[in-house]
Every structure is written in C-alpha cells, then in structure tokens.
Structure 1
C-alpha cells in the first residue's frame, strides 16, 4: 500500500498573466504570492509529510515552487513528472484571456468533464486527467509515502471535492498493482 499526500500548490500570483498578456501555457509560469509561500511553509509542518520518501511535482511554476519549499523543509528530493500538469483548458494552447478560460471552464463544468456524445471540445476531459495522474502514481507504488505537489482539478479526479484550498493536503491510499 502506498499513501500519496496530494498537496495543491500555494496561492499563485495570477495578476502576472494580465500584466504580461501571457498566452496558453505561458499562463502557467506564475509564481506563488507571499501568502502562497506562507501557506506551503505551514503545510510542510504537517507530521504526516515527515514519512514521505519522495516529492513528485507538476512542471508548472506554482507547483515547482511548492515542491521546492517542501523539499527544503523536509529534506526530500523532488522528481518532476510532466503528466502531473494541471487541466488543459485548451488543447490547442491558444487561449489568452481570463474570459476564454472562464468559458472553457464553464463548458467543462456544464458537461462534468465529459465530452458530449459524438463531440469533442478544446478542453481536456476528466478521464484524460485521471488517466495521466494514475499512470504517474502507478510508477511510484514501490514507495510507502509519496508527496505530490500539483493542482486542484487534476486532484479532483482522484478525490471527490468541489474546491481544494491552496496548500491543502489530501491523503490517498493506493494498492500495489
């Protein structure tokens, strides 16, 4: 049995996106706010995390910064896993405004993350996200305790919760295959 500690990144500094007019995945380069940094330092004090043997991280800045703080505080190595990236609202990588992001997110929510029969959408489906994160977790079932620094939407494919607060820890048990 492996216990995964899914930790959503700290609060990100989203206003950078508008300031620099970032587009597509450029919007995922934002760092944590000072409050977000503090959130992660507080989360790092959780005694459960002291058992962890490795930290896995999404490649996005906000998750990497979260993983770096956890690594520093817990003295655990970080492994970046590309498939831990956040939900992709636009698989064409072209969205560039908050309005477009909201429209894509609203459509995702309207359809509960499932493409309508016979249709596709720009956004990544829940099943696509679930498959990605599970493939990563399955590669680490040889560990007893694993921290994953990542994102709310992808974690919601593993744990039924509507909104995951920043730096929140979800404990998830997974049996070896």
Structure 2
C-alpha cells in the first residue's frame, strides 16, 4: 500500500493575471504570495512528511514553488508530472479573464463536472481529470510514502472532500 500526501499549493498571487492580461495556461504562471510561502513552510514541519521518499509536482508555478519549499525543508527530490496540472477550464486554451474563468467554473459546478447528455463543453470533465491524475498516481505505487504538490480540484477527483485549504495535507492511501 502507498500513502500519498496530497498537498494543495500555498496561496497564489492571482492579481498578476489581471496586471499582465495573461491568457490560457499563462494564467497558471502565478507564484505564491508571502502568506502562501509561510503556509508551505508551516506544512513542511508536519511529522507525517518525514517518511516521504519523493515529491511529485504539477508543472504550474504555484505547485512547483510549493514543492521546492518542501524539497528544501525535507531534502527530497522533485519529479515534475505534466498530468498533475489543475483542471483545464478551457481545452482550447483561449480564456483570458477572471470573469470567463468564473463562468466556466460555474458551468462545471452546475453540471457537477459532467457534460450534459449529447453536449460538449470547453472545460475538462471530472472523469477526464480523474483519469489523468489517477494515471500519475499509478506510476508511483512502488513507493511507500509520496508527497504530491498540486491543486484542489485535481485532488478532489481522487479524494472526496468539499474544499481544500491552501497548503493542507490529505493523507490518501492506495493499494
């Protein structure tokens, strides 16, 4: 059995998106705020993490910065896994505003992450995301303890929880 410590990234600095008018995946380049950095340093002291053998991380800046702090504090290697990225609100990679992101997110929530029968959407469905994240987790089943630095929506496809605070640890066991 493998224990995965799913750690949501620290608080990100979303205002950068509006300042630079970032589009699509460019919107995922934001770093952590000073509070987000403090959150991760505090999380790194959790005794459960002392058993970890490896950190795997989403490629997005906020998760990588979280993984880097954990790596420094726990002296663990980081492996970047592209498929640990967060939910894709627009599979065409064209959305460019917080307003549009909220609209896509609201539509996702209204449909519980499932495309209505006979329809398609711009956003990535819950089942698509669950399969993508699960595929990454499967690759690390030979370890006993693995830290995953990633995102709330992505983690909620594997572990049933309503909301995940920043820098929060979910202990997730898988056989």
What is the TM-score normalised by the length of structure 2?
A: 0.99
Structure 1 segment 42-121 matched on structure 2, within 5 A: 42-121=42-121
Q: Give runs of ≥4 in structure 1 deviating > 6 Å.
A: none
Q: CA RMSD in A?
A: 0.4
- Where does residue 126 of structure 1 map in the other structure? 126
Deviations 1:100-130 (A, max 9, x none): 0000000000000000011110000000110
2:173 alignment partner in structure 1: 173
Unaligned runs of 5+ in 2: none
Matches of 2:141 and 2:35 in 1, distance apart? 33
For residue 147 of structure 1, report the CA deviation from its aligned partner.
Answer: 0.2
2: CA distance, partners of 1:129 / 1:47: 30
Distance (Å, rounded) in 2 between the aligned partners of 1:52 and 1:132 = 23
Residue 19 of structure 1 is matched in structure 2 by 19
Structure 1: give runs of 5+ residues left out of the alignment.
Answer: none
For 1:31 and 1:22, how far apart are their aligned partners in 2? 14
Find the counterpart in structure 1 of residue 3 from structure 2: 3
Aligned residue for 2:149, secondary structure, equals strand
Q: Deviations over 1:32-61 (max 9, x none)?
A: 000000000000000000100000000000
Distance 2:77 2:35 in 1: 24
State the Cα distance separating 1:158 from its structure 2 match.
Answer: 1.1
